[in-house]
């Protein structure tokens, strides 16, 4: 896949220049590659830091702003941010009430966020792990389940709790609840292309798809012939529902694009997913359809469901004002 880039080794740095030019509501620490709110939140509120490899935009930098993150650390494409980056972000956003690290479950991310937490001597740091991908236990870069789409929900909901002024242990409790109550599954029709590599991350024959793919192109459960949308919807809905905590609460649903599939197809896919959820007796309280956690230009999509009680729904509905997610304010 052809790229809109200059120096392939400087893609992330160059993109951060564009982010700063385009978005007055954020500022960029170019030295540490951290995206921060232009206006820090009030003193005495818990701050949220996330980050990870680049290439999943709008995650995480696009979720910096009122009601979500205070800072996002941008690693190289598909590469964990360094402990120094996370430390710089943590120090910059600490408002005296503690900092929550939101960490997707990849070995490098887990290690580097942990190291940063240890180094952040002045700040009270807690951490929550996102590990929602039901496709596989253990994978290329992960022990246990991978962290994928639920990250968007967790950043939104924990962000709302922090914005309300809840103390760190309360924000952690809400974040852990989201982490426990949500599950995801994805499918790839094509591989994305890392700019510095210049060729697709994995080979996939023209008539096949990868069922259960990871957001870095990690292998999923199996490959099979490209199927029509109604069948693909079954491949996403069934394993997610099988692993989702049961209960009478409705769900928040996200049909997420991997970056290379048009919005027209994502809405079409959601139509198929909605039919299956209705058939399964699952009530959908809120819906997101679009590109929220991508894998560069991978064609494909993922489904995330979060079993949401009244508390989570109320926090979901709270105002949010970020480049990637915005409502109610």
**Active centre residues (catalytic):** 56, 216
Select 89 or 235, whichever has its Cβ closest to its own copies: 235
The least distance separating its own copies from the CB of residue 120, rounded to whole angstroms, comes to 28
Question: Which of 90, 82, 76, 57 is CA-nearest to residue 13?
Answer: 76
What angle is formed at CA 316 by the lines to CA 314 and CA 319, rounded to 5 degrees?
95
User: Helix or strand or coil: residue 238?
Assistant: helix
**φ, ψ of residue 240 in degrees (nearest 5):** -70, -45
Binding mask 175-194 for its own copies (x = CB under 8 A): --------------xx-x--
Angle at which helices 229-243 and 263-279 cross, to 10°: 50
Contacts with its own copies by CB under 8 A: the residue count is 64
Residue 52's Cβ-count burial label (10 Å; 0-12, 13-18, 19+) is: buried
199 lies in the binding site for its own copies (CB under 8 A): no
327 lies in the binding site for its own copies (CB under 8 A): yes
**Sheet strand arrangement including 222-225:** 222-225, 208-211, 182-188, 300-307, 251-257, 284-290
Query: Which residues inside 107-166 make contact with its own copies, applying CB under 8 A?
Result: none
266 lies in the binding site for its own copies (CB under 8 A): yes
The least distance separating its own copies from the CB of residue 145, rounded to whole angstroms, comes to 24
76 lies in the binding site for its own copies (CB under 8 A): no
- Candidates 56-64, 127-135, 161-169, 173-181: pick the segment binding its own copies (CB under 8 A): 56-64
- Select from 39, 262, 309, 314 the one that contacts its own copies (CB under 8 A): 262
261 lies in the binding site for its own copies (CB under 8 A): yes
The least distance separating its own copies from the CB of residue 274, rounded to whole angstroms, comes to 4
Whether the bond into 60 is cis, omega within 30 of 0: yes
* H or E segment to which residue 26 belongs: strand 26-29
Report residue 274 as tokens.
């909605």
300 lies in the binding site for its own copies (CB under 8 A): yes
Judged by the rule CB under 8 A, the positions of this chain that interact with its own copies are 1-7, 11-12, 14-23, 54-55, 57-58, 62, 77, 189-190, 192, 195, 206, 209, 226, 228-230, 232, 255, 259-272, 274, 287-289, 291, 294, 296-297, 299-301, 326-327
């Amino acid at each position: 896949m052809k790229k809109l880039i200059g120096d392939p080794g400087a893609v992330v740095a160059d993109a951060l220049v564009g982010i700063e030019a385009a978005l007055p509501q954020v500022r960029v620490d170019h030295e540490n590659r951290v995206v921060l709110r232009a206006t820090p939140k009030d003193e005495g509120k818990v701050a949220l830091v996330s980050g990870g490899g680049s290439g999943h935009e709008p995650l995480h930098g696009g979720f910096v702003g009122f009601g979500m993150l205070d800072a996002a650390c941008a690693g190289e494409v598909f590469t964990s941010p360094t402990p120094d980056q996370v430390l710089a972000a943590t120090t910059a956003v600490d408002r005296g009430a503690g900092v929550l690290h939101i960490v997707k479950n990849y070995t490098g991310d887990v290690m580097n966020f942990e190291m940063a937490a240890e180094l952040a001597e002045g700040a009270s740091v807690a951490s929550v792990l996102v590990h929602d991908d039901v496709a596989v236990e253990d994978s290329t870069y992960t022990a246990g389940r991978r962290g994928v789409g639920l990250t968007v929900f967790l950043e939104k909901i924990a962000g709302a709790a922090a914005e309300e002024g809840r103390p760190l242990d309360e924000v952690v409790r809400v974040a852990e609840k989201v982490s426990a109550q949500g599950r995801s599954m994805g499918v790839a029709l094509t591989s994305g292309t890392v700019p510095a590599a210049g060729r697709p991350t994995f080979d996939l024959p023209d008539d096949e798809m990868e069922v259960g793919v990871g957001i870095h192109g990690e292998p999923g459960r199996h490959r099979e012939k490209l199927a029509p949308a109604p069948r693909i919807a079954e491949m996403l809905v069934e394993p997610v529902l099988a692993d989702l905590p049961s209960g009478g609460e409705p769900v928040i649903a996200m049909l997420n694009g991997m970056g290379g599939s048009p919005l027209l197809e994502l809405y079409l896919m959601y139509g198929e997913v909605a039919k299956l959820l209705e058939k399964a007796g699952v009530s959908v309280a809120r819906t997101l359809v679009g590109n929220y956690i991508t894998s560069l230009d991978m064609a494909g999509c993922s489904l995330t469901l979060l079993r949401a009680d009244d508390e989570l729904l109320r926090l979901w509905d709270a105002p949010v004002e970020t480049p990637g997610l915005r409502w109610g304010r």
